[in-house]
A and B are shown apart, each in its own frame.
Chain A
Amino acid sequence: MSEYSLGKRMLAELIGTYLLVFLGAGSVITFASTLGFESPSASLFAIGFTFAVAIAVAIYTLGHVSGCHINPAVTVGLAVIKRFPLNEVVPYIAAQLAGAVLASATHLAIYGVGVAQKVSFGVTLPGAIIGNSAPIACLNEIVMTFMLMWAIMGIAVSGKSAPGWAGWGIGLIVGALIWWGGPISGTSLNPARTFGPAIMSGVWTAHWVYWVGPIIGAVIAAVIYEYIFIREKS
């Protein structure tokens, strides 16, 4: 058997993560600028739907090339259950982070620092609704990324779902998590998605939350689904 070279797969991860952050985090900047903070519900819905579309397009166009993880937490989760080679985890994550930084750098070029920095380039932060508590935000990211990884395992990894729905299924669960959890922790679910805006904005507040939470949530979901529902059955 042969497959795409590691270089091509890294390029696919870079482009996929670029697409995610360019559209997703970019929508935070755009909708905050156009709809303003007087219409937070409209902004939240629009941002969530933009993320859903970005993820669906990335999965449908790059899923067969690299697997389209576009998220270090997903890469780590799949590696822990031995469905992704350990020696490719670091190259994949490096490509994802590079794609995220490039996307945020593009935001700087398009919006200019004045507009983009109003919302810190769309970086995720613990919300006022939880008193800006990093530990609670971390708990929220754990639970939400558990749901995301659970959806990936059930829709795509198990092989038991109707084919062709991975893009929209996973995109829309991210959209729903943004609608629900946006005001709580920003709904990152993805260290790369927070890293790019953090680099460009210089806002590193509670940045650890968006590495620790998603990775823990993704690993728990992957392990439970893999060892209880997939391997146990077989």
Chain B
Amino acid sequence: MKCYICATEGKDTDAVAICIVCGMGVCMEHLVREEVEVWEGGYPFPSKKLSKTIPRILCQPCYTAYKG
């Protein structure tokens, strides 16, 4: 799979990840990786935050749409 954003710029770059929102293939330059906290539990128990986070990868357009 190729990076979609690079392709729109006329470049031919291999994708290294897929945006979890839109499914776009993205290269290292056009991805945004964030660590997301994970909470488990809930009523009738207090929820607990797990010690490790989970990585989430978005393309830049989706990241911008979500985070402004």
* 0/1 interface trace, chain A 145-158, chain B, CB 8 Å (1 if under): 00000001000110
- The residue that B48 contacts in the complex, of A1, A66, A157, A166, with Cβ under 8 A, is A1
**A-B contacts, CB under 8 A, total:** 46
Interface residues of B in 11-68 (CB under 8 A from A): 39, 41-51
Question: Do A157 and B46 contact each other (CB < 8 Å), given the known contacts A1-B51, A64-B39?
Answer: no
Categorize the interface residue count of chain A: 20 to 34
**Bound: A5/B48 CA distance, A:** 11
**Bound: A63/B45 CA distance, A:** 7
Nearest A residue (CB) for B52: A1
Instruction: Give every chain B residue within 8 A of A2 (Cβ-Cβ).
Output: 48-49, 51
Cβ B43 vs Cβ A64 within 8 A:
yes
Cβ A3 vs Cβ B47 within 8 A:
yes
Of A59, A64, A157, A166, the most chain B CB neighbours within 10 A belong to A64
Instruction: Give every chain A residue within 8 A of B51 (Cβ-Cβ).
Output: 1-2
Instruction: Give every chain A residue within 8 A of B44 (Cβ-Cβ).
Output: 63, 67-69, 74, 78, 152, 156-157, 166
Cβ B48 vs Cβ A3 within 8 A:
yes
* 0/1 interface trace, chain A 180-193, chain B, CB 8 Å (1 if under): 00000000000000
Cβ B45 vs Cβ A65 within 8 A:
no
**Bound: A66/B46 CA distance, A:** 5
**Bound: A167/B47 CA distance, A:** 16
**Bound: A59/B45 CA distance, A:** 11
**Bound: A152/B44 CA distance, A:** 8
Instruction: Give every chain B residue within 8 A of A3 (Cβ-Cβ).
Output: 46-49
- The smallest beta-carbon distance between B42 and chain A, in angstroms, is 5
Question: Do A9 and B49 contact each other (CB < 8 Å), given the known contacts A64-B39, A64-B41?
Answer: no
- The residue that A67 contacts in the complex, of B39, B43, B50, with Cβ under 8 A, is B43
Ordered nearest first, which 3 A-B pairs have the shortest CB separation? A63-B43, A64-B47, A3-B48
| Between-chain CB contacts (< 8 Å), 19 pairs | A1-B48, A3-B46, A63-B43, A64-B39, A64-B41, A64-B43, A64-B46, A65-B46, A67-B45, A68-B44, A69-B44, A78-B44, A83-B45, A84-B45, A156-B43, A156-B44, A157-B44, A166-B44, A167-B43
Residues of B within 8 A of A (CB): 39, 41-51
Q: A64-B39, A157-B44 are in contact. List 11 more A-B contacts (CB 8 A).
A: A2-B49, A2-B51, A9-B46, A63-B44, A64-B46, A66-B46, A67-B45, A74-B44, A83-B45, A156-B43, A166-B43
